[in-house]
Chain A
Amino acid sequence: MISDILFNGLLSIKGNGEIVPDLAKGWERSKDGKRITIHLKEGVKFHDGSLLDANDVDFTLLKKSKDLLGIIEKMKVIENLTISFDLKENPNYFIFNLGTSILPRHVYENPGKNREEIFRHPVGTGPFKVKYLSESEAVLEANREYFKGRPFLDGVVIKSYKSLDEVWSRLLLEEIDNCLPLSPGQVDFMKNNVNFKIYPYLSPYYFLLVYNQLNPLFKNKEIRIALNYALNRNLIIQKVLSNYGRLCSGPIYPESWAYNSEIEPYPYDPGLALKILGKIGWGMENGILKKNGQPFRFSVLVPEGDNLIGNIMLMIEKNLSEIGIGINIYPVPPMDLDEKYLFPKKFDAALLNFDSGINPGILNYRIWHSSQIKTGLNVFSYKNQEVDKDLELGLQALDRKDEKKYYDKFQREIFDDPPGVFLFWKEEMVPIHKRFRGINIGPEKFFASIPEWWVPKNEQKYKNGPQ
């Protein structure tokens, strides 16, 4: 999180998925796409004053990033500021990883005795550098030598508190200028507060009710489609999110270049759902949907203690009960959710919150590609050949037009063979003190926008350093 303003990657990814060069000046790809040559910007300094060069890139990518080892065949430092990569495959995916924070080799290669010190004083190229770090507080000051020009603000202090109540009190007392995004109830409360402005942005995380495809109940695509008609998603957005949300029809972020805006979402039509189910043998008996005497019942895992998800489930449960489907809701501790249930595939269905990754490439591959069932993130055992093909081709596409073609198709396929019910995208409301200007918050990491913030002179509060 904080690393977003302490470090830079070779490139950065904007909110709509576009890639912009960051530390890199530019790059070239060979015709077959397997060799990428990156040129670094000149004169970029680390916080300790030393200059960035290709050795730092080499060090960071090779030593620190396990993921890339599989893809990189060879990495060569050509000159002080040029480095080339020969890749085994998947050049698209590789590019996106070049957003990783670049570390200075001379600091991190052999930390030795200074490990503690380095931990407390990370050294990067970013717009802010660390004044000091502690358990509860991070005090940052502006990097006046930042290669893109120093940030307007002189410093940032990040504090962590023990309870949400404390966070709220301090926010209302104007002791802190910003905190985590607000829940819908909080938005109502803060709307009327004249000291704060609320900045909305569409969170790139989507909510999804997803089924374990191995469960016989969900084998048939028709059932999964019927369930899409059974849920009144708009009502959920209205009641649970107080309308701070948008309907979701697939795993690609609506503001991304890859979004397929031509897909019409499933309407709320429980009658149609029953008809579809009826066609495959499910009928209502005394208000319970049954087939061959077996009631349609399944359990849904939810992360414990999440009020929002609890309320969503209430409404889903109501909708399902109206068509005779019963569910058991199992709240489990979030930590156990992955380890004990999802990865071991011990579940019927789950209500989860996924990162769409802004860029369509690697995440979707890892979640929905059949190759990822055994060891990847495809814990749902979702398998669709068309989807697989689209994802593969998309990752390898060399030009944007081709990429879009494949991802559009991917979205259509996954829509027609839904792994569950894509519910909605949440609109995040971030409260920031009214004296700040130049705020442009988007789904890219929150902190990345801070360098652009400024405060008119007469409204500046902390003039003499962070407090």
Chain B
Amino acid sequence: MTEAKPVAVGVEASAIVSELRGLGVDHVICIPDSYQKTLIAALRDDPSIRFITACTEDEAMGINAGLYMGGKNPMLVIQNNGIFASINTIKAIPLDARIPTFVFVGQYQRDPMVPIEESRSRAVRMVEPTLDVWGVPHWRLEGPDDIGNIRAAYERAHETMGPAALIVGAPTL
């Protein structure tokens, strides 16, 4: 009997941080997420990054805008429910005000053994369709082979002066 393989596997936080350093990210605004626990810890400890904990995703997008206008290179770390919570701000700031908004979105409550589309969690299933409705481009981080998607999302956010999301599909290691 063959053992079932996971659809998504975690990526080492150190590898992600290395990518972010390469992109020159200097500020991280975070609403805590259980799927990115190790990444959040690594970012918090990184002396080259100022780590800002906000109370809501709405705030995080406003802070991101202020930092960007002030010449910094920020990003957001949030969870899937935060996308649903902040749609009005996504409309107003990243989209209408044309602010590059590079966001990691943890797939909270996703079972990595199950494809996203078949998840029992509505939040897991609906986050990508929600982003599609609003025209927010997104990439998946389903394992170490997807590490290049970090740069792809970052570059799209800055090329289009708008939002771009990386969907983190398994707990970071």
Q: Do A and B bind each other?
A: no
